[in-house]
Amino acid sequence: MHLKGFINFCLYSHDHIEILVNGAGELLFFRHREREWIPTLRLLHKYPFFLPWEQVDKGAIRFVLSGANIMCPGLTSPGAKMTPVPKGTVVAVMAEGKQHALAVGMTAMSTEDIAKVNKGIGIENYHYLNDGLWQMKPVK
C-alpha cells in the first residue's frame, strides 16, 4: 500500500511502538520495532477488507477482550471459522455473532496446522477492543 502524502507524522513510544496518524489526527497503523505496519481496529472497522478474517467461537470472546492470545480450539470449534492463511499473517479476529473485529493479531501457525494440531496458540493477539491503543484519543 502506498502511504506517501497520506500520513502527516509518526508517534513514538517508549515501548518501541510507532503509530501512523493522518492529518485529522486519526491513528491508522501501528508497528512494534521494525515489523510490518498493522491497521488499528478503528481503521479496520471502517475498511474490514484490509485483512483476512479468522472467527472465534462465543466462548473465546471474553479471553480475547482481556488480551489473551487466541488458542487453536477457539478457532476450530463450532461457531469458529478460518480463512486459509500461512503462518505469520496479520489477521482480523472476528467473533461468532458479532459484526466488527474484536482484535488484530498474527497467526502463530498456518490455519492448516491450527486445524491439524488443535492445541496451543493459533493467533498472537496484538491489539484488541478497549486496550491502550483503542483508548488513545486522536492526535491534534
Kindly tell me if the per-residue pLDDT of 3 is higher than 60. Answer: no
Residue 2 domain flag: no
- 133 versus 33: the higher-pLDDT residue is 133
Residue 18 domain flag: yes
Give the domain range for residue 62: 8-135
Residue 108 domain flag: yes
Residue 56 domain flag: yes
pLDDT band at 35 (very low <50, low <70, confident <90, very high): confident
The CATH number of the domain holding residue 49 is 3.10.400.20
pLDDT band at 109 (very low <50, low <70, confident <90, very high): very high
Kindly tell me if the per-residue pLDDT of 124 is higher than 90. Answer: yes
Residue 3 domain flag: no
Longest dimension (CA), the chain: 48
pLDDT band at 32 (very low <50, low <70, confident <90, very high): confident
Residue 140 domain flag: no
**Structural domain count, the chain:** 1
Residue 1 domain flag: no
Buried b (16+ CB within 10 A) or exposed e, 86-104: eeebbbbbbbbeeeebbbb
**pLDDT value of residue 4:** 46
